[in-house]
Structure 1
Amino acid sequence: MMREFDLVVFDWDGTLMDSTSHIVHAIQQACRDLALPVPARDAASHVIGLRLADALRRFCPEDRAEQLPALVDAFRRHYQANLDQVTLFDAARETLETIRAHGVFVAIATGSSRAGLERALGVVGIAELFDATRTVDECHSKPHPDMLLQLSDFFGVTLSRTVMIGDTSHDLLMAQNAGSHGVGISHGAHSDEHLRQCQPRAIVHSLPELSSWLQPRLG
């Protein structure tokens, strides 16, 4: 099979980093700190991947909107606690190394802040496996296509030869909006049903399964 993709872009939280439960816990604890209604797990996990303030605004009632900055601060405090105990999904490094061995570009597009991504990459020690990264500090939040547009332009790769890998509908809608391809991975924040609604090229259930799907398409 001829090469189909020249650029493979990964989401971070819930796709490569097994951080969904950690983020959900931080959202729920932050709401408790401010005596706000505590969202159920599904509601908290659904906002993962969005810009932090946009995500947390959904849990801050309009009549208490002035508490949003404090909610963001409380989330960050809980999120950073025990962050060093959050790990990569199984076979993450091996999957990335296999993709890179095909000579394609590998990047990250994440709803995390620049500081948050750099901190996480430092904890798990795989920064050298990415050719570029984009965060909400440099780009519009998902599902706006800005991250993929910037990465495509940076590498000189057309969007039709770019594939976005993510665990949320925000990732797959970003790919749709950019005119690139999308692949959902079901081990993170959103269910198979939510992912399928975005009509991805495929849905895989683990990183080794993703690697098997990608390799024939990388030439």
Structure 2
Amino acid sequence: MDDLALILFDVDGTLVDSQSEILAAMHDAFAAIAQPVPNRDAILSTVGLSLEQAMLHLLPSECDAHTISAAVSAYKHSYRKSREVGAMSVLYPGIADLLRKCRSHENLLLGLATGKSRRGVNALVAYYDWGGVFQTVQTADTHPSGRDTAIRISGDHRLVGA
């Protein structure tokens, strides 16, 4: 048997263009807690982080845990509302074909390692009919951040049974 290879994909900014949804939800979150909305570049620099980490990065350092939690809740509420009206992040050109080609190689395993929530990933997987495409899906629900190596290591170990 040939050696297996694992290819891990991030979601936001790699597979899908979710900038408009992220920016809109951040705007709503900051409005809900009566804080000035950070600029676009600052917000987008947090893509890949868990929401809690993103808010810690974007909010003034004097904000307490309650304010951070309220911002996270407001973001989730806004993002969920956008999904309810049919908004969905758009695949980058060529991604569907790339995933199809990767799946055609029997010694390639595919996975996701993302700062998105499990709920958000599940919605995306259902929308794009990706059920069974990814052998491992690691999210911010069980790991500190999409940029954290623990997500990648955990994904690898689950695949090899360690």
TM-score normalised per structure 2: 0.85
Partner of residue 160, structure 2: 156
- Paired with 2:118 and 2:44, the residues of 1 have a C-alpha distance of 21
SS of 2:17's partner is: coil
Matched, 1:105 2:109: yes
Across the two proteins, how many residue pairs are aligned to each other?
A: 155
SS of 2:8's partner is: strand
TM superposition outliers: structure 1 runs of 4+ over 4 Å: none
- Paired with 2:116 and 2:97, the residues of 1 have a C-alpha distance of 23
Matched, 1:53 2:58: no
Are 1:12 and 1:109, in contact at CA under 8 Å, matched by a contact in 2?
A: yes
- Paired with 1:140 and 1:60, the residues of 2 have a C-alpha distance of 18
Change in CA separation of 1:14 and 1:127 when aligned onto 2, cut-off 3 Å: farther
Q: Can you list the C-alpha shifts for 1:160-193, whole angstroms capped at 9, x where unaligned?
A: xxxxxxxxxxxxxxxxxxxxxxxxxxxxxxxxxx
Q: Can you list the C-alpha shifts for 1:56-79, whole angstroms capped at 9, x where unaligned?
A: 122322333231111111111111
- Paired with 1:121 and 1:138, the residues of 2 have a C-alpha distance of 18
- Paired with 2:39 and 2:60, the residues of 1 have a C-alpha distance of 16
Partner of residue 85, structure 1: 87
Matched, 1:73 2:73: yes
TM-score normalised per structure 1: 0.64
SS of 2:36's partner is: coil
- Paired with 2:98 and 2:124, the residues of 1 have a C-alpha distance of 18
Q: Can you list the C-alpha shifts for 1:141-167, whole angstroms capped at 9, x where unaligned?
A: 24321111112222239xxxxxxxxxx
Are 1:60 and 1:67, in contact at CA under 8 Å, matched by a contact in 2?
A: no
Partner of residue 196, structure 1: none
Moved more, 65-74 or 76-85: 76-85
In structure 1, the gaps of 5 or more residues are: 158-219
In structure 2, the gaps of 5 or more residues are: none
Moved more, 134-143 or 100-109: 134-143
Matched, 1:14 2:18: no
- Paired with 1:121 and 1:155, the residues of 2 have a C-alpha distance of 19
Change in CA separation of 1:127 and 1:152 when aligned onto 2, cut-off 3 Å: same
Q: CA RMSD in A?
A: 2.1
**One-letter amino acid of the counterpart of residue 145, structure 2:** S
Residue 127 of structure 2 is aligned with which of 123, 135, 144?
A: 123
Moved more, 52-61 or 3-12: 3-12
SS of 1:64's partner is: coil
- Paired with 2:3 and 2:23, the residues of 1 have a C-alpha distance of 36
